[in-house]
Amino acid sequence: MQIRIIDQGSGILADILDRIHEPFFTTKEQGTGLGMPVSCQIVEEHKGKVNILSSMHGTCVEVNLPALT
Ligand SMILES: Nc1ncnc2c1ncn2[C@@H]1O[C@H](COP(=O)(O)OP(=O)(O)OP(=O)(O)O)[C@@H](O)[C@H]1O
Ligand SMILES: [Mg+2]
């Protein structure tokens, strides 16, 4: 199963993308920096994978989860 979450924001620069899984890394004044690492950890614990595709026109986060057997 694949879920895609798409936004039309300003995208994620490469240096931020490199650190996006780092706990407590944030560029927001009020951010915790836990949104992505915790979400990715939950997906990985379900044997899934997260791919982030980003450009200056927005971001697409793909969540791939294996079928239940
Ligand atoms: N969809 C997005 N578009 C642009 N930048 C993003 C996006 N998602 C994450 N980021 C960047 O990655 C950083 C880390 O994201 P993460 O979700 O881990 O924490 P956060 O969003 O800063 O804090 P919180 O999860 O508490 O709101 C963000 O601060 C932001 O710079
Ligand atoms: Mg977040």
Given this model, what pLDDT does residue 61 score?
A: 98
Q: What are the structural domains, with CATH classification, of the chain?
A: 2-64 (3.30.565.10)
**Which residues contact residue 8 at a Cβ distance below 8 angstroms, ignoring those fewer than 6 apart?**
57, 58
Atom of ligand 1 nearest to the CA of 27: 29
Identify the residue whose C-alpha is closest to ligand 1 atom 25.
Answer: 35
Alpha-carbon gap, residue 38 to 65, rounded angstroms: 16
pLDDT in tens, the chain (69 residues): 999 999 999 999 999 999 999 999 999 999 999 999 999 999 999 999 999 999 999 999 999 999 987
Assessment of whether the complete model's pTM goes beyond 0.85:
yes
Given this model, what pLDDT does residue 25 score?
A: 98
Burial of 69 per CB tally in 10 Å (0-12, 13-18, 19+): exposed
Identify the residue whose C-alpha is closest to ligand 1 atom 27.
Answer: 31
Residue with tokens 């300003």: 10
Residue 69 alpha carbon to ligand 1 centre in Å:
33
